[in-house]
Amino acid sequence: MLIQDKKIAIIGGGPGGLTLARLLQLRGATVKVYERDRDRDVRVQGATLDLHHESGLAALRQAGLLDEFKKHYRPGAEHLRLVDQHATLVLDEHAEAQTATFGDPHFRPEIDRGPLRDLLLDSLQPGTVVWDSHFASMKPAGPGWEITFQNGTATTADIVVGADGANSKIRPFVTPVTPFYIGITVVEGALPDAAQHAPRICALLQGGKIFALGDEKTLIVSAKGDGGLAFYTGCKTPELWARDSGIDFKNAAQVQTWFRQEFVGWASLWDELFAADHAYFVPRPQYCFPPTQAWASQPNLTLLGDAAHLMPPYAGEGVNMAMLDALELSNCLADSQFSNAQAAIAAYEQSMRQRAATVAQETLAQTAALHSPGGLAHLVELFSGGEPTHELSC
């Protein structure tokens, strides 16, 4: 087996990196995950995620974690209400009979990011994740790599996998190709104690999701299992808008003022999202790697997830693609048909890039449609045509 007696370093402890670690450990590999967070509890995890039968759920099945997932997913959280900017109900999945379940390709169960991360962390051997390991630099060391972290520690590895997200520090060692700005900035928000601070929105949510579209803008709201909610505004801006706007995104009043100006004419209930002083906001300009990107495969280095194929979140594929990357990469590294690690990595990367190119093109088209004058009609047609509900996974 290609990974026998190999030290594998995964840079980044998100769902993709943790899934890969679990799958490789099941095959007897020596794996460490280097994560920049100080510990597992230092950061509030984001919104809910819907896992897909052919990708995220497939990875969990092979990882032996589907039963554990069933203990933590949130039945009904996938139900969508589609409204216009005035909160007028256009489509309501809560009113429809729900018969899909595990094993149905169209069933996309929801789970909060925190519980998903926890079940993956708890599945790993003790000491697998090395916390407070913020990547600083890397250089060749014999047939492998020497990796240095900002805390002054260092390690060596025979194979390195960059699972460190949109701003990957590992990617430049693989390819110089950079992402392009797609013209949309998302403002991500999180509101604890939603029943207290956003009662009208909670009543509209009914524990599920809201997609609100109008004026070439989007607002997506998701209920979380901890009583909070996560939301994302989307609108057209210059690339450096967040930097140049003068808005202090740690100041809820300033963000609310911006929202009222940018989303003028939208229903007053949306103001509830910005009314609490302890709400959390972060602007996220949206980028995408060219669908046609390619690079020469290496014998000891590869990428997965957003580090490999960053794209906007409007098709709900981000975490699912990362987990499918982990599944396919682990299978290739354990496949005896490959004579060496470079051949295995090359096979994985060819398949991954081809898959990502298709999804990126679809996602760019979806993003443009949602932020067009006909965005609401487009989404009504999409859901009325029987397409499964997608999630936004910034």
Cα dist. 42→45, 47, 192, 271, 374 in Å? Answer: 9, 16, 16, 29, 41
Sequence-distant (≥ 6) Cβ neighbours of residue 369 within 8 angstroms: 375, 378
Determine phi and psi for 219, rounding to 5 degrees.
Answer: -140, 120
DSSP E strand boundaries for 51-134: 80-84, 89-92, 110-112, 129-130
Burial class (CB in 10 A: 0-12, 13-18, 19+), 311: buried
306 is known to lie in a ligand binding site: yes
226 is known to lie in a ligand binding site: no
Rounded CA-CA distance 22/40 in Å is 17
The DSSP H or E segment spanning 100 is none
Sort residue 160 into left (φ over 0), alpha (ψ -120 to 50) or beta: beta
43 is known to lie in a ligand binding site: yes
Report DSSP state, residue 224: -
- Using only C-alpha atoms, the chain has a radius of gyration, in whole angstroms, of 21
353 is known to lie in a ligand binding site: no
DSSP assignments along 350-375, one per residue = HHHHHHHHHHHHHHHHHHHHHTSTTH
Do 61 and 99 touch, CB atoms closer than 8 A? no
Q: Which candidate, 231, 320, 238, 273, places its Cα nearest to that of 46? A: 231
Tokens matching residue 297: 């495969």
Name the binding residues for FAD.
Answer: 50, 113, 306
Name the binding residues for NADPH.
Answer: 43
Name the binding residues.
Answer: 43, 50, 113, 306
